Amino acid sequence: MYLVKRAETVVRSGLEACLQPLGLTPRQYVTLSLLRDERDQSSADLARKAGITPQSVSETIATLAAKGLIERLENPDHRRIRMTRLTAAGEDLLKACEAAVDGMETVLLSGLSRDALDGLRQALRVIVKAG
């Protein structure tokens, strides 16, 4: 498991480096990605999917809303629950972030053959599923 932790550290450092010029943190990038994948999510949904605390996701949402990257809407079924979605500016920035992250991923994985990369992905799926 030491190598998994080391790989996580390398990936996190890479994410921070490629997202910083775009004005985002890895947590903010993950939140935008989750909102692209599924519109109108509550804070609780986002926290659960991102694996972070509700307090952390609330801080992230507040920051992204202040930047105009997301908007908060009242849930017509539950007035106390606010739903979150990407704005057009959020979608545009997410596309730029994904290009930067794809470039970082290409560099990190460049030493692997197609078979080795497929094996790595399968191994990671097994670990995630077991967790």
Q: Residue 131's pLDDT is what?
A: 79
pLDDT, residue 121, reads 94
What domain count does the chain have?
A: 1
pLDDT for the residue numbered 1: 83
Task: Look at residue 120 and tell me if it is in a domain.
Answer: no
Q: Which residues in the chain show pLDDT less than 70?
A: none
CATH code of the domain covering residue 12: 1.10.10.10
pLDDT in tens, 62-73: 999 999 999 988
End-to-end CA distance of the chain: 13
Cα three-residue angle 77-83-87, rounded to 5 degrees: 140
Beta strand extents in 17-76 (DSSP E only)? 70-74
> Residue 51's pLDDT is what?
87
Full residue range of the structural domain in which residue 23 is found: 2-106
In a domain, 123, yes or no: no
**113 assigned to some structural domain:** no
| 44, part of any domain | yes
Residue 114 in domain: no
pLDDT, residue 6, reads: 95
pTM for the complete prediction?
A: 0.85
